[in-house]
Structure 1
Amino acid sequence: MVTDDVFAVIAEATRRDILVSLRSGDKAVGELVAELDASQPTISKHLKVLREADLVSMRAQGQKRYYTLNTAPLEGVAEWLGAFSVAAGELARQLTPAEPADVLARDNAELSPAVVLSGGPQPATDDTVPQQIGRTVGRAATKAADLLANLPKFGRKK
């Protein structure tokens, strides 16, 4: 799967929550429903998207369906983040789950590609499309780094 597709899949908060939940091992749909306090159709819909993106795999055991985390597609995201010399663990330590969304959005706005690639801040300009794209990429990179920092190590190549 292409890295862009993985970013699109993990952009949804419920899907990220499912991936984090599956870090501890296989879980049945009912366990995910109870743990994430969401409806069964909602969890099933997101699991289908995650399965199509090859981020989870499913095995049937009787009437239950158990899902397992597959970290291979996330390796492309880790490599992409590495191109910016972003340490996933370092970003994750800077963020706490209790931070308000507006604080995260403000901090992520500072991660625009122009700043990262040029090595320093750029003069302030009006909000333009490139800046909006930069903020979106920054938020996605931060979320991906946080997710990757919390994944167990399954023989990832460095």
Structure 2
Amino acid sequence: MAPVNYLLLLALGVAQFSSALSESCTKPEVSASAYTTPDATVLVNVAFVAEFTLKCSNGAKGIPLYAEINGRTVPAARIGDDKYQVSWTEDVKKARTGDYSVNLYDDEGYAALRKAARSGEDPSTVKPLVTIVVNYPGAYTGPWVNSEFMAAVLAVAVWYVAFSAKSKLLS
């Protein structure tokens, strides 16, 4: 009789696990904050970090999410029951200022997105669960003129003034 109990427990566990996976979010509400690299003087890549809270009207929590940014898909890291974080990097020269749309998908939406990509369809036809916007105001890449260049120009100017003054005195 013991094996029957184990089979029953296993069946209940699988049923609970599959129902947790199939739980989807209805009427999602998102509040987000973002961080971008402000100083890129010595960096090769600009970092983007979006942290957001997802609340569902049906009370779903811990839903696996995927983010699509500029055609790239990355998993969203769950950092709490309803808190998530998405991060990515862009090359400093390729990073554009302005708004970046981050489309968030649940398991079903992510599967539809992958299916559209495999079949050659336009992935923008797949409706995201929700979209958040990350604003990138740009990063400081250093002064327009390097200090070494200014020092060289100043040295040449001092040399010219000194040489001119010396030639006037000797003539």
Tell me the TM-score range normalised by the shorter chain. under 0.3
| Structure number having the greater helix percentage | 1
TM-score normalised by structure 1 residue count = 0.24
TM-score normalised by structure 2 residue count = 0.23
Q: Which protein has greater RCO, CA pairs closer than 8 Å, 6+ apart?
A: 1
